[in-house]
Structures are given as structure tokens and as C-alpha cells.
Amino acid sequence: MKNSLLLLITIVIALIVSVMLVRAIDAHRASVPAQFGDESLYVNAATAKRMALAFNGLAADWYWMRSLQYVGGKIVAFEDTHTERFGLGDLDLHVLPSLLRVSTALDPQFVAPYEYGAMLLPEISPDDATTLLNSGVAANPKTWRLYHLLGYVYWQRHHYEMASEIYAKGGNLPGAPPWMAAMAARMKGEGGSRDAAREMYSHLYDASNDPAVKDMVDKQLMRLKSLDDRDEIRNVLNAYKARNGRCVSSWRDVASELRAVRLSLDAKSGAPLDPSATPYELIKNGCDVGLDMNTRVPFR
């Protein structure tokens, strides 16, 4: 009975502290002049720690959810004002590194923000990406998954030797899977190849439990598959032009050749289908292939 009462009191205190934390942060946000936008929406890590008292994990979760909401809000705002497809570089996500930094400072063993940072930050702020993941490895020196993420960040920056070194270190940790050592060797030999990228993304997908990370990785795997598809299609289109002295007038002209390289074709148009089951487009007057604007495959 006494233990149950103590547990109930602890839960109530945690809820009160979380409400106070949210109100304090929102009050801080409300005091920021509108012209500064989202420059100072959030308190820094040291202040957040003082406000969180003994409930750092709860505060870290709050900042983590804010990170997801922040990125989601930026995407919605872009789509509401633009018709073209966007990449991460098109979004103003300058607050994201601070959000992830605060979340991991509050709870250095919380892996999800490191995963999210590894996926997004290399394109937004490469230096913040390496800083975040290096801090994760320093705080969790026996967690092989963080070496995997740090190796990925260096790979994204085309620092293949450094990526190889990180994978080798992580591969020596107790419980590390055998493929960590294999990735160390692959980074040295063929870090920039599509096969290395495909293996990298496959391991990231398998090692993560975060749906947002899995979705981002899945899209990158589709992009790699599409790049392979388009190489095959260009070979077919170039062969047709060499035989006939002109480019194709429609996909029907090369339907049999496309089937021969095991590409799925749209039943109506005969167009080859990309990994999201969207027909590819003929571009440059039938001499080349491109992605349709409605595809789920990333353009970059």
C-alpha cells in the first residue's frame, strides 16, 4: 500500500513538472518578437535541465516530439505555398539542430533523436550532424548502433576513410553484428557506390524502430532502385536510337525490350513503373527518361 502511494505521488509530481515545463517554454516562446520567427522558440539545454528537475527523460521526450512537429510544420507550410517537389535543402530547418541537441543533452541515452539527426542533418547542417553523433558515441561508448549512425553521417559527407574507421571501432564492441566489420571494409573500397549505399540504408532500416526513420530510409532505397531502373531504360532508349536513327515516339516502341530487362510496365501506357508504381516519363523528345511529378521516389 505504501509503495503504491509513493508511485502515485511520483506520477502526479511528474505530470505537474511536465505541465510547468511546457508552460514555461511556451511563455518564453510567446515573449519572442514576431520578426525573429522561430529563431528562439526553445530554451537551451542547460535551462531545460534546470526546469526539468529530476524528470530529464520526460523533458527529452517533449523536445523530441517538438522536433517531429517542427519538421512536419515546415513541410506543410512549404506544400501550402509551392507546387514543386521539395528537398530538405528547400526547408528552413535551422532550429532543428538545437532541438535535437537539447533532447540528447537531457537524455544522452535516448537513441531516437540521434537517428533522426543522422537522417536529416547531413543535408541541412553537416557539422551539426557530426557533432550530434560524436556526442552520442561519447555518451554511449558501448552502443554499436550509435557508431553505425556516426559512420553513416561520415559516409553522407563522403568521408569514407573516417566512416570505415568508425565502423571498425563499432564492429569491435560486444554484441555488434558481423556486418559492422564488413561495412568498415566496404567503406574503404567502394564507399561511393550504389551497392554500398543500398547496404548502408538496408542496415539502417533493420536497426531502427522509429517509423519516421524507416520511412526516410525506405524512400532512399526507392531512389537507388529508380537510379538503376533509369540506367536500364536509357540503355534501351539509346539502343533504339542507334538502330532507327531517331528517339522513340512512345513507350510502346520499346515495350519488349523493357520487359526483357524485367521492368514492370503500366497496362495502359506501356510506360515502365518506378519503385512507387508510378509511370516514368519520356523526356527530351523521347530520348531520355525522368520521374513523374506524382512519384513517391525522391528526386534527390
Between 76 and 273, the more confident residue is 273
Average pLDDT, the chain: 85
At residue 282, does pLDDT exceed 90?
yes
pLDDT given for residue 172 in this prediction = 95
pLDDT one-digit tens code per residue, 212-251: 899 999 999 999 999 999 999 999 999 999 999 999 999 9
pLDDT given for residue 24 in this prediction = 54
pLDDT one-digit tens code per residue, 82-141: 877 777 777 889 999 999 999 999 899 999 999 999 999 998 999 999 999 999 999 999
Cell of 61: 521526450
Sequence-separated (6 or more) residues with CB below 8 Å from residue 242: none
pLDDT one-digit tens code per residue, 256-270: 999 999 999 999 999
In a 3-state reduction of DSSP, which class is residue 95? coil
pLDDT given for residue 4 in this prediction = 56
Structural domains for the chain: 17-198 (1.25.40.10), 229-290 (no CATH)
Backbone region of residue 58 per phi and psi (left: phi > 0; alpha: psi in -120 to 50; beta: other values)? alpha
pTM value? 0.78
